[in-house]
Structure 1
């Protein structure tokens, strides 16, 4: 089975690197800058689960894709998805499976519209990772899970084929028979932590120390209610874990969206928070919800960032 991993950033570099080290047929789709970086240093992963250095990982540029791959793994940021789809389109054939690892659901709609219902799987990952200034993949916690499945449910033969490739590949892989439920539950979690830590400009522990547990729980429960409205009620165990996570005293955790905001980078406000709001029961409440306030806060940041960029140019 031939895998094309789109990019070698934190997600693609980590999971693609593990697959490649396990002997799987993996090629990275790279832009020129990342290709030059990897040519100089190799693909480097530093992880509590074991470090990895692959001197010359196979890679290709978009214009040199020779034909279809069996699986295309997509882990781009949502705001880059349109250009990312253009880049890997030549790798998509009649039997190609596209495995996206983005958060939320909006990307599924875009991928289905571009490549067709049958080709797009569901997927998510549970990992905290980033690239440092030298292009090394830094795995920041012990979790390195990847969940995938057919959006229609069950474990059909094509998912079993991927399962065989992922077994023993150096990360925790789970074939899900209800991947949409898993994706919605992660969306609730990600939207909650992103909304809270971005709005409050601090960690979960900071919010708890300020006496804001009620705000944290209100945001989580609002996101969970939207999931339920869309037919994906968060399971009791996930609610219990979410409540505990959002109110953990002393927790240093912040969302990657807050980290992007703090460094002045682009944020996935529309994909993670805005799209979730658009799926809430209508009409909207007269008093803006915590999710709505968090979303407007991020959109105001985007306005400020665009103004600063225009002034700089």
Structure 2
């Protein structure tokens, strides 16, 4: 398949690199020093599953240079999706599939609004990875996985073909869950709690999960998310919070969420797409979300400052 990776940070760099390693036709969309390093020296991925170096990579900052592709993997930050959706139009042909891997629950709707629902499928991923420096991605935790499916859960040839291409790459577990919306909200459950609690405490997951006070905070955030999901028509499993907490327990002690790292470093973050989205959707569906509202309000001044800077 012919892939375009829109956003070549930890997520896009890792999954795109693994696809390229397996022989797929992959072009990375990046910018600045990262793009220059990839064009000059290729892409390096350091991973517990085995390091790789791609000495030559197809990389550009202009989607028009690429033309239409079979699949666009969208791996920008959640707050960048609306802008990316407009810019990726040159990549979209009649049969192009767009797979969003953002944190949050709104990316597919945002892409659909710009590109049309016939192109966009549901998706999520799991990985702890980041861009260590230009041209180098470091994978530090979680066995990397991608889950994808048609947004209405109907079987389709295109999702099976995409799953097979992803599964053929070393270091990627790909599957089509029975209900992609439940899968997306289940991931949102733990990443939103981990991001919000991590951002207000400035502590890694090993510290926050060890304290009764912050463990209760994780659970309170998740209870509100489950209530909002149900109000929106997504019925979460009875053990959804238990499973999310088990995932948090399994993370390396020094793990931090990308939203937490961005806030701690003074960068614009996914606050509005995570805890802010819980508050916003709660208001839409008439669900009280006081814990997420406090987290959102506590972090909002720094978020506004990062965006104005």
The answer to whether TM tops 0.5 is yes
Tell me the equivalent position of 1:290.
Answer: 291
Report deviation, 1:185.
0.9
Q: Once the two structures are superposed, what CA deviation does each residue of 1:130-181 show, in whole Å capped at 9, x if it has no partner?
A: 0112431000114111111111103211112212322321111112342111
Mapping for residues 14-93 of structure 1, pairs under 5 Å: 14-62=14-62, 64-93=64-93
Instruction: Please give the per-residue CA displacement for 1:59-92, whole angstroms capped at 9, x wherever unaligned.
Output: 3442643532111111001222233223321010
Pair 1:96-2:96 in alignment: yes
Give the match for residue 240 of structure 1. 242
Contact 1:14 1:137 in 2 (8 A): yes
3-state SS of the aligned residue for 2:133?
A: coil
CA distance, structure 2, for counterparts of residue 248 and residue 295 of structure 1: 26
Structure 1 range deviating more: 142-151 or 201-210 = 201-210
State the SS of the aligned residue for 2:175: strand
Secondary structure in structure 1 of the residue aligned to 2:57: coil
Residue 176 of structure 1 aligns with which residue?
177
Contact 1:204 1:248 in 2 (8 A): no
1:48 aligned counterpart, secondary structure: coil
Contact 1:8 1:28 in 2 (8 A): yes
Q: Unmatched 5+ residue regions in structure 2?
A: none
**C-alpha distance in 1, partners of 2:158/2:251?**
44
CA displacement at 1:260 relative to structure 2? 1.1
Distance 1:140 1:63, change over 3 A: closer
Quote the residue 2:186 is aligned against.
185
- Higher mean C-alpha deviation, range 86-95 or range 11-20: 86-95
Report if the CA contact (8 A) 1:12-1:75 is conserved: yes
* C-alpha distance in 2 between matches for 1:35 and 1:195: 31
247-256 or 25-34: bigger deviation: 247-256
Structure 1 residue aligned with 2:118: 118
User: Where does residue 261 of structure 2 map in the other structure?
Assistant: 259
SS of the residue corresponding to residue 67 of structure 1 reads coil
**1:296 shift after superposition:** 0.8
- Counterpart of 2:270 in structure 1 is 268
1:132 aligns with 2:121: no
Unaligned runs of 5+ in 1: none
* C-alpha distance 241-26 of structure 1, shift in aligned 2 (>3 A): same
C-alpha distance in structure 1 between counterparts of 2:264 and 2:208, whole Å: 17
Cα distance in 2 between the residues matched to 1:100 and 1:249: 23
How far is the alpha carbon of 1:303 from its aligned partner? 2.8
**1:237 offset after TM fit, Å?**
3.9
Alpha-carbon shift at residue 96 of structure 1 (Å): 0.9
Q: Normalization by structure 1: what TM-score?
A: 0.89
Q: Single out whichever of 229-238 and 145-154 deviates more from structure 2.
A: 229-238
Runs of 4+ in 1 over 6 A off after TM superposition: 247-250
| Cα drift, residue 241 of structure 1 | 2.1
Equivalent pairs, count: 306
1:209-258 CA distances to partner (integer Å, 9 max, x unpaired)? 55403222222212222222222232234321223456799944432211
